[in-house]
Amino acid sequence: MLSLADIREARERVSGVARHTPLERSRSFSEMSGADLHLKLENFQRTGAFKIRGAMNRIQTLSEAEREAGVVTASAGNHAQGVALAASRAGVDATVVMPKFAPVSKVKATRGYGASVRLEGVDYDEAQAYAHRLEREEDRTYVHAFDDPVVMAGQGTLGLEIVDDCPDLDTVVVPIGGGGLISGVAVAIKEQLPDVRVVGVQAEGAASAAKSLEAGEVTEIDSVDTIADGIATRSVGEETLKVMAEYVDEVVTVDDREIALALTLLLERVKTLVEGAGAVALAAVLSEAFEYDDGETVVAALCGGNIDLNRLGTVVRRGLVQMGRYLKITIDLKDRPGELERVSSIVARTGANVYAVHHDRTSRDVAVNAAELELELETDDAEHAADIVDALEAEGYDVEILS
């Protein structure tokens, strides 16, 4: 079983590469949640995520023969970059297998750190199966993304930093994918501060941890579907499950809407960019996925910031919808002069700003004497959005809310 001594030894090995990342109190989120909320900004870590900690610890413990043969791993992106950088620093050849649909930014970054990248499978688990095939065929050492006590010890160095920087904490909230991060963090914290509560968070579309803990064995889900690709695994690990069963107090889930909202609020309120997986801990606090007291000192781990820019726009748009700051509607108009101007004047009176307009009179679904108007509007909040719809309906328009 993973021990505090293992994690302390890991800190000595990784300290030359992994940064001691900031832990800052957020006034904005403390006011929103009622908790005394602190953010562990691991998105500022080298490679943009915590994975460099575990990868570096594992590479540093390779035998000379293993170094000569090289390593192989599978990853959705963050572990890939960690292994690539750690192997490059140690002069070890690394092959990384990533899912075909891994974010382009993560694929390019992994190659940039010096690893050979192969794209195989539709998700992490299929990529992992191919990586194990290379392990056998090329006699490489497989560096597991989470289910390895040495990797878990490296991730646990984040927990040591939390205790150092916030010794009076009551609760720490940590994302769960395969369980490597929360296992290391939980041991690092509980072995020093046993009364601290450790809460794990999974995305609703990749929630295997609670099922596994309830069953007492690793339980694999059929598929994953979440914007939090960094924690999109079908199951936790055998080793991580053992640690979680002993050290983790509670596991909760958040959905993609809550993740998108947390990510967008981080951008707006604290000017901090995270990926979907990096937002789940804050999402759990803001959505009250678990109970906490007013004034309770809570640390939320923002575990990574490697979001693909193509996905960022989509996620932020979802977040704005959740905040009531974006409204997309369709209206059926009579196909006659002045109707578009009439609608525009109503929208203008409400104070909304128009993002986009699409006026269609040729669709099969539109009557011959009618037109369909689609509007994308910038709004102040949910109440403002409702006022716009009410104003249009009061003028006799049938409004369909798209988002």
For 195-244, write each residue's pLDDT tens digit: 999 999 999 999 999 999 999 999 999 989 999 988 988 999 999 999 99
Residue 155, both tokens: 């991730």
pLDDT in tens, 101-123: 887 888 999 999 999 999 999 88
CB-CB contact of 211 with 221 (8 Å) = yes
| Per-residue confidence (pLDDT) for residue 11, from 0 to 100 | 98
Higher pLDDT, 61 or 336: 61
| Per-residue confidence (pLDDT) for residue 368, from 0 to 100 | 66
Judged by DSSP in three states, 337 sits in coil
pLDDT at 379 over 70: yes
| Per-residue confidence (pLDDT) for residue 244, from 0 to 100 | 98
CA end-to-end span of the chain, whole Å? 48
CA distance 66 to 328: 56
pLDDT at 363 over 80: no
Closest CA to 278 of 265, 294, 296: 265
Question: What percentage of residues in the chain have a pLDDT greater than 90?
Answer: 76
Q: Average pLDDT of 45-63?
A: 97
| Per-residue confidence (pLDDT) for residue 364, from 0 to 100 | 61
pLDDT at 92 over 80: yes
The residue assigned the tokens 């990868």 is 55
pLDDT at 365 over 80: no
Higher pLDDT, 389 or 308: 389
pLDDT at 380 over 70: yes
Could you tell me which residues come within 8 angstroms of residue 391 by beta carbon, excluding any fewer than 6 positions away?
Answer: 346, 349, 350
Q: Average pLDDT of 175-189?
A: 97
pLDDT at 135 over 80: yes
Please, which pLDDT band fits residue 313 given cuts at 50, 70 and 90?
A: confident
CB-CB contact of 2 with 156 (8 Å) = yes
Q: Average pLDDT of 374-380?
A: 91
Average pLDDT, the chain: 93
Tell me the sheet residues that pair with 360: 372
Helix axes 51-60, 149-165, angle to 10 degrees: 130
DSSP classification of residue 173? E
* CA dihedral for 64, 70, 72, 76, sign (positive or negative): positive
| Per-residue confidence (pLDDT) for residue 272, from 0 to 100 | 96
| Per-residue confidence (pLDDT) for residue 115, from 0 to 100 | 96
pLDDT at 86 over 70: yes
pLDDT at 366 over 70: no
pLDDT at 98 over 90: yes
pLDDT in tens, 390-400: 999 999 988 99
| Per-residue confidence (pLDDT) for residue 170, from 0 to 100 | 98
CA distance 198 to 185: 9
Amino acid at 280: V
Please, which pLDDT band fits residue 268 given cuts at 50, 70 and 90?
A: very high
DSSP classification of residue 49? B
The upper half-sphere exposure of residue 398, i.e. CA atoms within 13 Å in the direction of its Cβ, equals: 6
The residue assigned the tokens 């043969």 is 69
| Per-residue confidence (pLDDT) for residue 148, from 0 to 100 | 97
Higher pLDDT, 22 or 356: 22
pLDDT in tens, 16-29: 899 999 999 999 99
CA distance 279 to 255: 11
Judged by DSSP in three states, 216 sits in coil
Tell me the sheet residues that pair with 117: 96
| Per-residue confidence (pLDDT) for residue 373, from 0 to 100 | 86
Please, which pLDDT band fits residue 57 given cuts at 50, 70 and 90?
A: very high
Q: Average pLDDT of 292-318?
A: 92
Sheet holding 326-334, edge to edge: 353-360, 370-378, 326-334, 399-401
Please, which pLDDT band fits residue 321 given cuts at 50, 70 and 90?
A: confident
Question: What percentage of residues in the chain have a pLDDT greater than 70?
Answer: 98
